[in-house]
Amino acid sequence: MFKISNRFFILVVIVLLLILAGAYFFYQAGDSNHVPQDDLVEENSPTDNLTDLPISPVSPLSPVMVPNSPLPIPPNSTFDVEEIFAKIDQAELAYKEGNYDEALRIIDEVMAVDPNNPFAYNTRGNTYTALNRYNEAMTDYSRAIALDPELSFLYYNRGRLHNLLENYDDAISDLQKSVELSPVEFGYRAYGAIGLIYHNLSQYDKALEAFETSISYNRDERADIYYYRGETHTALNDYDAAIDDYQAALSRFSRYDEAYQGLGYAYYKTAQYDQALEALNEALEISPNSAIAHFYLGLVYLAMDQFDDAEAAFAQATDSISTLSEEEQEFISSRVLTDLETFAQENPDQADEVDALINLIPEP
């Protein structure tokens, strides 16, 4: 009988492996539809060098943020973990689309089998907040924190809710806790929200400090905190610093109409009227019906002794002021009235013209 040596057998196996490897390589090279998964991820990833980044809201409800890594099993769960979180994802999507009844229905299904799931309480808390059912939302966020006190976004969401309820000390405490647990994720947003709280309380020095801290976490060079800090500088009558911040915001997001409005007003307050007109016209190009921009434009025209243009701008502002919230109407009316009264005191010969403009401003 013919006997095959071990050496010959090994040689045959090696040759066969080389043939198979070559065939596989040829197939891969010739398959134009085959793209390695890593390349797909890279192709679909946003560039890191965008110049006009979208404005990041300072205080959105954070998402559920279910991680891609293996999920923690909620305590006392008797249900399939992946199915639970798939349902939470569905509820979160319904919430984001404004389908709040559907979101609550899905979460009720989750609660029936897994009553101790902090992610489910978070989503239901988000939904209750959107429905202005604040007491129920507070109960859900607090219950979620009791179940898992290491989930940073729960403190962020509860902090936002405390702010809505004007529990400012509790809001700041929760927002700071979210940063303590996840500084990269929440440093920018949480300290931005804290800055807004202090700004709205007229504690401007603390607001500036919080905004500075927020910017130190601003890895993506987003625009909004520079705008809010510009507003704080404006409230302090530090218009040069305000101009710098508004320009910084616009360099990061070029269609930021509110930043153009603030910039135009700061230029007006520093008697740089041509620059003010340019900035305000940019704002109106983005938002043609902006009552605030039209009011500021009227102030600039009045300062330039162009009363007819000022009157036309005020009339346009009056036509669209109803689009503003009551708080915004009160704010802009107070600011414009103050500037008109100051102008009248400095220019008594134009008091009648100023009175005519004042009469165009509706009471908030």
**Where do the domains of the chain lie?**
79-149, 289-364
Query: Which pLDDT tens digit goes with each residue over 47-72?
Result: 222 223 333 333 334 333 333 333 44
Query: Which residue shows structure tokens 């704010």?
Result: 331
Distances (CA, A) of 169 to 17, 90, 165, 277: 70, 34, 11, 41
pLDDT at 105: 97
Closest CA to 85 of 145, 98, 77: 77
Reported confidence tier of residue 40, pLDDT bands at 50, 70, 90: very low
- Whether the predicted pLDDT of 221 surpasses 70: yes
Share of the chain above pLDDT 70, in %: 78
Closest CA to 230 of 222, 238, 219: 238
Q: Hey, what amino acid is at 330?
A: E
- 348 by Cβ neighbours in 10 Å (0-12 / 13-18 / 19+) ranks as exposed
pLDDT at 222: 87
- 312 by Cβ neighbours in 10 Å (0-12 / 13-18 / 19+) ranks as middle
Helix spans in 304-350 (H): 307-320, 326-346
85: number of Cβ within 10 Å: 21
Length of the chain: 364
Question: Cα-atom radius of gyration of the chain, to the nearest Å?
Answer: 29
- Helix/strand/coil for 298: helix
pLDDT at 80: 81
For 144-167, what is the mean pLDDT?
96
pLDDT at 364: 66
User: Mean of the per-residue pLDDT values for the chain?
Assistant: 83
Q: Which of 79-88, 150-159, 276-285 has the lowest mean pLDDT?
A: 79-88
Query: Which residue shows structure tokens 């979180």?
Result: 85
pLDDT at 6: 52
pLDDT at 78: 55
Q: Is 252 within 8 Å of 226 (Cβ atoms)?
A: yes
Closest CA to 170 of 142, 144, 149, 148: 142
- 326 by Cβ neighbours in 10 Å (0-12 / 13-18 / 19+) ranks as exposed
* CATH annotation of 79-149: 1.25.40.10
- Give dist(CA 123, CA 275) in Å, integer: 47
Reported confidence tier of residue 92, pLDDT bands at 50, 70, 90: very high
Reported confidence tier of residue 114, pLDDT bands at 50, 70, 90: very high
Q: Is 234 within 8 Å of 242 (Cβ atoms)?
A: yes
For 157-168, what is the mean pLDDT?
96
Share of the chain above pLDDT 90, in %: 73
For 241-263, what is the mean pLDDT?
97
Q: Is 58 within 8 Å of 192 (Cβ atoms)?
A: yes
Reported confidence tier of residue 81, pLDDT bands at 50, 70, 90: confident
Q: Is 110 within 8 Å of 89 (Cβ atoms)?
A: no
pTM, to two decimals: 0.77
Reported confidence tier of residue 24, pLDDT bands at 50, 70, 90: very low
Q: Two tokens at 205?
A: 């020095």
Q: Which of 84-88, 99-103, 205-209 has the lowest mean pLDDT?
A: 84-88
pLDDT at 5: 53
For 219-225, what is the mean pLDDT?
85
The single-letter DSSP state of residue 223 is: S
- Give dist(CA 37, CA 139) in Å, integer: 42
Q: Which residue has the higher pLDDT, 71 or 103?
A: 103
